[in-house]
């Protein structure tokens, strides 16, 4: 016991002497022996001149500081991670293809004086002819278009064609060949959820801003400005804001897999839920847009009322999903095929329903869930001029009606 007490006194004395220069971070004392003692010393600049009462033998020996230019003892870590190198390369290579599109339209104030208004969006070059892909809502209603390239040069833009139903448009500029840097379209059908993507655009006028993220989901639907649904939409968490519209969504191979078109946001700013029109849709639409300036869409010439389980029970319908024919457009495909529209309006539950018209259960043997499902089927599976078979329910009996699809008129 005496030897253990003596050892502890010696240890306390040594620790007290070093307290000016060291902080004990680990100390274990067991069985009369000091098992570990690891001091953390201050930097050399913090060591003061020893006082006369401090034994010189207990002072640490200062080490000369290494020169600032001395190389590290180990190899320096790479400045960029592989994923960062990919993003930097894509931004460098794709950046010159991304353009700023300014649309100029005229509105009128309270006194009917003309007031020019500007809208800003993005786009990207797609071929050597100076053609640029963007969103329809970027150029819609524009009286004049101005395209700004990466070097700041500006060119007037000419609208080649647009498709409001898929929010896609093509603009052409007449620029020197050395200023044209087209991007290549990839295949959106090859995308996988979790795959890294990069978005380039001009949010709030900040030219060629780059954001990165992943594909959050595939196969979403998005409603276009004309009310029709766009299918196959890509969801991403790459930041998209006002002004990003029309810019490219790019995969790690530098290929365009979509056009950034919209965000979901309670606040109006990016919350990590953005949407892009898929590249496969763009590739399908481009030939028609370039050749005709528009894209023909299948049209039945009728409006529809969705059927719910409650509505089906109230009307004694044979299925709990499908559509009721509400209105028939004169001389349209539905009218020529002999479809019947609603004859009266009736309140069922809390909704007013147009009833008396045909109930459509299926098209070409494919069950129809609702009006949006019907429209998506016609857009993706059928073309104007195709003949379809409708399985309908009329006057308590099932029937089959043949209908030849027309082309959707402008404004429908």
Element (H, E) at 361: strand 359-363
- Catalytic pick among 163, 167, 358, 373: 167
DSSP SS3 for 74: coil
User: Residue 245 catalytic?
Assistant: yes
Residue 171 and residue 103 in contact, taking contact as beta carbons nearer than 8 Å: no
25 sits in the region (left: phi over 0; alpha: psi -120 to 50; else beta) called alpha
- CA 402, CA 363: separation in Å to the nearest integer? 10
Beta strands of 90-205 (E only): which ranges? 98-108, 114-125, 131-134, 144-148, 154-163, 168-172, 196-201
- The three-point CA angle 386-390-394 to 5° equals 150
Strand partners, 258: 249, 278
Within its chain, how far is the Cα of 166 from the centroid?
Answer: 15
Catalytic residue among 165, 245, 270, 303: 245
Residue 181 annotated in active site: no
Q: Which residues of 133-158 are buried (b: 16+ CB within 10 A; e: fewer)?
A: bbbbbbbbebeebbbbbeeeeebebe
The answer to whether the beta carbons of residues 19 and 12 sit under 8 Å apart is no
Closest CA relative to residue 397, chosen from 298, 312, 316, 333: 316
Which residue in 186, 177, 196 sits closest to 89, CA to CA? 196
One-character DSSP codes across 285-346: HHHHHHHHSS---EE-SEEEEE--HHHHHHHT-S-SS-EEEEEE-TTSHHHHHT-----EEE
> Is the CA virtual torsion 74, 79, 83, 86 positive or negative?
negative
As a whole number of angstroms, the distance between CA 381 and CA 297 comes to 11
Q: Which of 103, 137, 358, 373 is catalytic?
A: 137
- Residue 346 bridge partners (DSSP): 353
For the annotated catalytic residues, the residue numbers are 137, 167, 245
């Amino acid at each position: 016991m005496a030897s253990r007490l003596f050892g502890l006194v010696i240890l306390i004395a040594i620790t007290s002497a070093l307290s000016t220069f060291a902080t004990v971070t680990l100390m274990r004392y067991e069985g009369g022996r000091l098992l570990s003692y690891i001091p953390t010393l201050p930097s050399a600049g913090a060591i003061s001149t020893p006082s006369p009462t401090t034994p010189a033998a207990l002072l640490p020996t200062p080490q000369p500081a290494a020169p600032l230019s001395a190389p590290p003892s180990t190899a320096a870590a790479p400045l960029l991670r592989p994923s960062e190198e990919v993003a930097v390369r894509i931004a460098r290579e794709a950046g010159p293809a991304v353009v700023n599109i300014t649309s100029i339209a005229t509105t009128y104030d309270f006194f009917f004086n003309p007031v020019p208004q500007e809208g800003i969006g993005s786009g990207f070059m797609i071929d050597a002819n100076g053609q640029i892909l963007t969103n329809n809502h970027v150029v819609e209603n524009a009286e004049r278009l101005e395209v700004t390239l990466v070097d700041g040069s500006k060119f007037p833009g000419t609208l080649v064609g647009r498709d409001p139903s898929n929010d896609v448009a093509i603009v052409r500029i007449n620029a020197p060949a050395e200023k044209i840097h087209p991007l290549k379209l990839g295949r959106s059908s090859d995308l996988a959820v979790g795959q890294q993507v990069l978005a380039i655009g001009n949010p709030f006028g900040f030219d060629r801003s780059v954001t990165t993220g992943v594909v959050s989901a595939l196969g979403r639907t998005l409603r276009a400005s004309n009310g029709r649904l766009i299918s196959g939409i890509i969801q991403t968490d790459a930041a998209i804001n006002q002004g990003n519209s029309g810019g490219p969504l790019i995969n790690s191979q530098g290929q365009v897999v979509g056009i950034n078109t919209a965000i979901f946001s309670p606040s109006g700013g990016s919350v990590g839920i953005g949407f892009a029109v898929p590249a496969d849709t763009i590739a399908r639409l481009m030939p028609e847009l370039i050749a005709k300036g528009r894209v023909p869409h299948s049209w039945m010439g009728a409006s529809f009322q969705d059927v719910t389980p409650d509505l089906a029970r109230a009307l004694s319908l044979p299925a709990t999903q499908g559509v009721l024919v509400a209105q028939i457009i004169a001389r349209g495909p539905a009218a020529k095929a002999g479809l019947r529209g609603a004859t009266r309006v009736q309140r069922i539950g809390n909704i007013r329903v147009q009833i008396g018209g045909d109930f459509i259960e299926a098209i070409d043997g494919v069950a129809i869930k609702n009006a949006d499902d019907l429209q998506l089927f016609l857009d993706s599976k059928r073309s104007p001029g195709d003949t379809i078979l409708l399985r309908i329910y009329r006057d308590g009996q099932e029937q089959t009606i043949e209908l030849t699809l027309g082309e959707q008129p402008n404004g429908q």
